[in-house]
């Protein structure tokens, strides 16, 4: 009897939830999508550096990598870059093998196999990031890295006030959405009522305010930010901070 009793209580509790999940607001509405951008000069450059040294013994490889990293830090310090913006992101250590070749001289595999290939020493790699906030120092930093035989794996630009710029872009998008909604409502002889939904991004189904599902062969339209390559000579570029949103208002006085 207890099993049947619990089953009945569960069914009664879930029934209203299932019913309400299928209800949609049937009021007339205006659906608006808005985008906004804020541009600002980049003021932080992050140089990711890879220092890799190979030697016959593991200790020799580690010592060589540490020695080169130390000399790089000393040279960067002389340029005037604050040491607080320099850090080691990852240290890697591995054995190096000469991959066996077939009769035509081609490697028999893409990856080494210790049971098949000849050991050719050890490699230690120190991956560091250097934060540069003075544009006049960036060229000297890159020249120093190259002079020591290290490798620049990437160079990225950001802004110290990135959160502030992103917030401004969101505010501009919201203002644009409200302006459009009022314009359309006034032109159509209606007035704005309650806000039914607000979401960041665009491309929602206007009834459910969810992203639509795409069938085979279909895809959503995506706008990608162009990759910013550092100009030559090196300078801090202008960055664009974008925001988009979708808002759904109920409208009052709409003609049936």
Q: What is the pLDDT of residue 96?
A: 93
The pLDDT, as a whole number, for residue 6 is 30
Neighbour tally for 123: CB within 10 Å:
19
pTM for the structure as a whole: 0.65
| Per-10-residue mean pLDDT, the chain, length 256 | 32 35 67 93 94 94 93 94 90 91 89 90 94 91 92 93 93 94 91 90 86 56 41 71 88 67
- pLDDT of 33: 92
Q: Give the model's pLDDT for residue 204.
A: 87
Tell me the CATH architecture of domain 25-41+161-252: 2-Layer Sandwich (3.30)
Distances from the Cα of 48 to the Cα of 1, 91, 94, 212, angstroms: 69, 13, 20, 39
Name the helix (H) or strand (E) containing 53. Answer: strand 44-55
What's residue 215's pLDDT?
56
Domain range summary for the chain, segments of one domain joined by + = 25-41+161-252, 44-158
Q: What is the pLDDT of residue 16?
A: 38
Contact 119, 129 (CB under 8 A): no
Q: Does domain 44-158 have CATH number 3.20.20.80?
A: no
Q: What's the confidence (pLDDT) of residue 132?
A: 95
Same fold for the domain at 25-41+161-252 and the one at 44-158? no
């Amino acid at each position: 009897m207890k099993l049947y009793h619990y089953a009945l209580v569960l069914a009664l509790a879930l029934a209203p939830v299932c019913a309400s999940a299928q209800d949609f607001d049937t009021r007339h509405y205006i659906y608006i999508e808005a985008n906004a951008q804020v541009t600002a000069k980049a003021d932080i450059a992050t140089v990711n550096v890879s220092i890799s040294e190979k030697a016959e013994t593991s200790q020799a490889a580690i010592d060589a990598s540490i020695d080169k990293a130390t000399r790089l830090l000393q040279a960067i310090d002389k340029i005037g870059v604050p040491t607080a913006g320099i850090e080691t992101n990852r240290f890697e250590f591995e054995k190096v093998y000469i991959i066996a070749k077939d009769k035509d001289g081609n490697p028999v595999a893409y990856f080494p196999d210790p049971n098949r290939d000849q050991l050719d020493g050890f490699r230690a790699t120190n991956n560091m990031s250097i934060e540069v906030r003075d544009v006049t120092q960036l060229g000297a930093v890159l020249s120093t890295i190259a002079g020591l035989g290290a490798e620049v794996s990437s160079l990225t630009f950001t802004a110290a006030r990135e959160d502030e710029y992103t917030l401004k872009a969101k505010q501009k998008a919201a203002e644009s959405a409200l302006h459009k909604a009022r314009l359309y409502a006034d032109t159509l002889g209606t007035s704005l009522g309650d806000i039914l939904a607000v979401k960041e991004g665009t491309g929602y189904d206007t009834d459910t305010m969810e992203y639509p599902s795409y069938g085979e062969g279909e895809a959503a339209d995506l706008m990608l930010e162009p990759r910013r390559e550092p100009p030559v000579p090196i300078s801090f570029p202008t960055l664009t901070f974008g925001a988009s949103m979708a808002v759904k208002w109920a409208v009052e006085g709409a003609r049936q």
